[in-house]
Chains A and B, each alone.
Chain A
Amino acid sequence: MSLKRAARLYIVGFIFIVLNFYPSKNLFSADVGNCLLCHKYPGLSRIDEQGKMKLLYVNEDIFNISVHLKVKCEGCHTDIKKIPHDPVNKVDCLVECHIVEPSSEQKFSHKDVDNYVKKSVHAALDKYGMPKKFKEDLPTCKNCHDEPLYRPLSFFKQVRPGISEAALGRCRVCHKKEDFIIRFYNHVTTRLHRTRNPINIAEVCARCHDDPLLVERHNLGTRAVFSYGETFHGKAARFLDERVPDCLDCHVNTGESVHQMLSHKDSAAITYRENKYLACSNIECHPGTSQQFASYKVHAEFNLDQSPVQYYFTLFFIILTGGTLLPLMAIIFLDLIRRLFPDAVIPRRR
């Protein structure tokens, strides 16, 4: 084979590989209806009749790293049958989309999630099927969820989070479709750890549980996320530590859906007085801890009215720490002034 011919073959081969295996953005897109023709523009928006801003923009880049990337637009916006379409109805998250659930081979839907929520403390109806008081305060899907995003993990060497190219290399040995490989990797590794950072979870819960009006209406006794922020766990979460428990770790029975959150008055709940220690004694947290370990007031605010004992105890340490360190710093500062101006004197008044 001449050198020229070999070079030609290499170039053709290279182009073939690039065209087939290069992870183009379009490979991921589920935009079969070309909805992004209009919806890629961020200004696509209006103020509706209730005075609420409706932003109709979809950021394609971010959508392509979301768990719904393979769901077609009409999979959720089921009432869109023609283009141009009429104003759309609110999305029903319980609708069956075109995704097939592989274990049952049935169309996928979030109906099971709804069943869990119906049994949870956040259900709009009580156990007798009657609407709860202040029903409008109880969350619906979008109160807690925006578009869920993949948080892939790298297991090789663990130098950085994200996708591990080394792992993908292994996948490529058997699997040929690049978008399948990346999606599968993203899906599995995202599910192997927290789907959201503890601080993001806390922010979601805070929208209701730190609202003083809501706290008062439902007689909740504490601003849950504010008081979480006062604890070691909350402070570590603020530094983006992912090893600390977030709201869901302590309020959901281990191994159950986070949507199955029960009232602390329910004896089956992990937050029930006698069960609380089970959350702490988890093998990943404080294994072997007793009931007494969890008997302290977890959501005590630094508040004189709510928790006077904790308040005075904390106040003592604040005074001790501040009262010691602040004068010390002041002395150091004065000493430095003297070093800066060794001969300076304040003239005496005559």
Chain B
Amino acid sequence: MKNIFYKLYVVAFMCLTVWFIVIIWNVTFHHVIEEYENRKELEEVATIKEQKKREAEKTKFERIILQSEERVKHYLGYRVIEEQRIEGHFHHIGFDIGPDNRSYCIRCHGDMPHDKVRDLRAFLNMHAFFIACQTCHVKTEGRGPRVYKWYDRKTGELVPSPVLTYRAGTYNAKIIQIENTGVGEPQRVDSQERIDFASEFKEREKELSEAQKSKAKKMIHEIVSKQPSICEDCHQRESPLLPLHELGYPRDRIDSILSTEVVGMVKKYTEFYMPRMLHPGEQNKENEK
């Protein structure tokens, strides 16, 4: 037994020695290497400059992507706020929402897919943050009662309602519709089969002919309704599309969502902007005029 403890002691000491070696290396010779690399980097400034000009489009892409990657820590003494830094964004974000790994729609359409209707796009994107695309864009009428569940953005698994755990809209989960196909058990609209098909299309897109691409796209969008659900489908007291109570919303949150304040604002939007949303092409024509 004594021998085992002695061996463990020696191994622990060896680990400590290795740790010291790494530290000493980092503050000494690694520093020299770093300086050499920095010098090289500066020498390459002119080349980079030229490259940046040539890759203007790529830079634009990188700017959008990378700006959400930069992280900052604000040291307030009694508290540290760590958050993403978005260039030009004045107000603090203060928390992180992971990517939606389940959605196959956003692989092509992006995380902020709504941009056609200028006056509504931010609202629609806001809802897309906690409502899966299929919930509004796929209608499964005549197939029994509609069922909606929450799924985890990271794992894609169905999870219990996060509404009581997190602040409004900051859930790491989204609402998805459960489809009754008439055959077997009801299944999620974003079924594994559909995900696999869309993923394979994305992977093999380059090798497909135009006709094949069109066919595949049609099949992927086959379930998409021409008339998506609109704000008033949910923000109304009579028969809201989403069963908010079943989705875990407490009474006061349901009252707020269906309040005169929200419903009234939705009406104002509907009055002024909604007709254009239902005929998206007209918006562009108006702008062109």
Binding site for B on A (CB under 8 A): 34, 37-38, 40-47, 51-59, 61-63, 65-66, 83-84, 86-87, 91, 142, 145-147, 149-153, 160-163, 196-197, 199-200, 203, 212-213, 216, 226, 240, 301-305, 311, 315, 318-319, 321-322, 325-326, 329-330, 332-333, 336-337, 339-340
Contacts and interface: CB of A to CB of B under 8 A. Distances in A.
Contact of A303 (B39, B79, B112): B39
B129 A42 contact: yes
A333 B12 CA distance: 11
A89 B129 CA distance: 25
Contacts of A319: 28
A37 B125 CA distance: 16
A340 B121 CA distance: 67
Nearest to A76: B90
Interface of B is mostly: helix
B10 A340 contact: yes
A330 B79 CA distance: 42
Interface residues of B, number: 75
B201 to A, nearest CB: 24
Contact of A44 (B49, B64, B88, B125): B125
Given A149-B76, A322-B29, A333-B21, A53 B92 contact: no
Nearest to A83: B265
A302 B168 contact: no
7 contacts: A37-B265, A40-B169, A44-B123, A212-B41, A318-B32, A325-B28, A326-B29
B227 interface: no
A252 B70 CA distance: 28
Given A84-B119, A302-B35, A322-B24, A62 B92 contact: yes
Contacts of B42: 212
Contacts, number: 189
Contacts of B10: 336, 339-340
B68 A43 contact: no
Counting chain A CB atoms within 10 Å of each CB, which of B29, B68, B122 scores highest? Answer: B122
Interface string B249-269: 000000000000110010011
Nearest to B30: A322
Interface stretch (B93-101, B186-194, B207-215): B93-101
Interface string B60-102: 1001100110001111111101000011111111110100000
Given A42-B97, A57-B93, A84-B268, A337 B14 contact: yes
B64 A52 contact: yes
Contacts of A332: 17
B48 interface: yes
A209 to B, nearest CB: 14
Contacts of A333: 14, 17-18, 21
